[in-house]
A = this chain, B = another copy of it.
């Protein structure tokens, strides 16, 4: 039984690009299995992963979370393009001497995951895209006003987080409250909060990724690895519409939309989502 995510030490590794990356490394998995590397959402750090999700994933495989360059406890500067974020993530993966990994990208992290798989396809065995959208898709130029108004402010509040990551149903709100409690259970060695500079740079990158350009949709033809696309049915930040678009453009994709859930569907449905990810990564689904 691996140590729980909430008790896990913060580690650091220096990469060839001069950045010292903060990360956590858990689970184990069978000999020869590639590790699963997670790419975090807008303004998130190591503590914004729901420990319930990480611990379930880590029951069967090695799971690594990290802060990309300039984010949270990592040194360097947060870049304002998805392209540079992908290069920075590749530098981290290379620093851990992983030849090949499975990637799970969430929200802006899913954009970075797509870009990594396009820049360095040999590095990515299987790809999970949670709350994702393709570059250039119509209607993706920045978050909706109520979304950026809720989670784009200098100081974010738990209520605003719940608004975007969970639906208005009693069940979803309850799941959200529980997820937040799990994320805040850790009191020792919490990760450094992300800065306003990170927020600004990440949102520039989100808007740049969303500049509409239909021709860019064809990029996804080049994703040759198996891909699992997942979203909440009521995500206000990245509509499930775009998950279908991804599944229709990526040659070998499956898609699942989780009921009564929003941007945080993977925390709300952590047991089901972790089982789906495990089945996908194991090649049995």
Q: How far is the CA of A45 from the CA of B73 in the complex (A)?
A: 67
Is A2 in contact with chain B by the CB < 8 A criterion?
no
Is A85 in contact with chain B by the CB < 8 A criterion?
no
A residues engaging B (CB < 8 A)? 138, 214-215, 217-218, 221, 241-249, 253, 255
Q: What number of copies of this chain does the assembly contain?
A: 2
- The CB with the most chain B CB atoms within 10 A, among A218, A249, A253, is that of A249
Q: Which of B215, B218, B221, B248 contacts A248 (CB under 8 A)?
A: B248
Q: Residues of B contacting A242 with CB < 8 Å?
A: 248
Interface of A is mostly: helix
Q: Which of B214, B253, B255 contacts A217 (CB under 8 A)?
A: B214
Nearest B-chain residue to A239, judged by Cβ:
B248
Q: How far is the CA of A34 from the CA of B247 in the complex (A)?
A: 33
Q: How far is the CA of A232 from the CA of B199 in the complex (A)?
A: 43
Top 6 A-B pairs, shortest CB-CB distance: A245-B248, A244-B248, A244-B247, A244-B244, A214-B218, A248-B248
Q: Which of B218, B243, B248 contacts A249 (CB under 8 A)?
A: B248
Please give 14 more A-B residue pairs, beta carbons under 8 A apart, in addition to A217-B217, A244-B244, A245-B249. Answer: A138-B221, A214-B215, A215-B215, A241-B247, A241-B248, A241-B253, A242-B248, A243-B248, A244-B247, A244-B253, A244-B255, A245-B245, A247-B248, A248-B249
Q: How far is the CA of A215 from the CA of B214 in the complex (A)?
A: 7
| 23 A–B pairs (Cβ distance < 8 Å), ordered by A | A138-B221, A214-B215, A214-B217, A214-B218, A215-B215, A217-B217, A241-B247, A241-B248, A241-B253, A242-B248, A243-B248, A244-B244, A244-B245, A244-B247, A244-B248, A244-B253, A244-B255, A245-B245, A245-B247, A245-B248, A245-B249, A247-B248, A248-B249
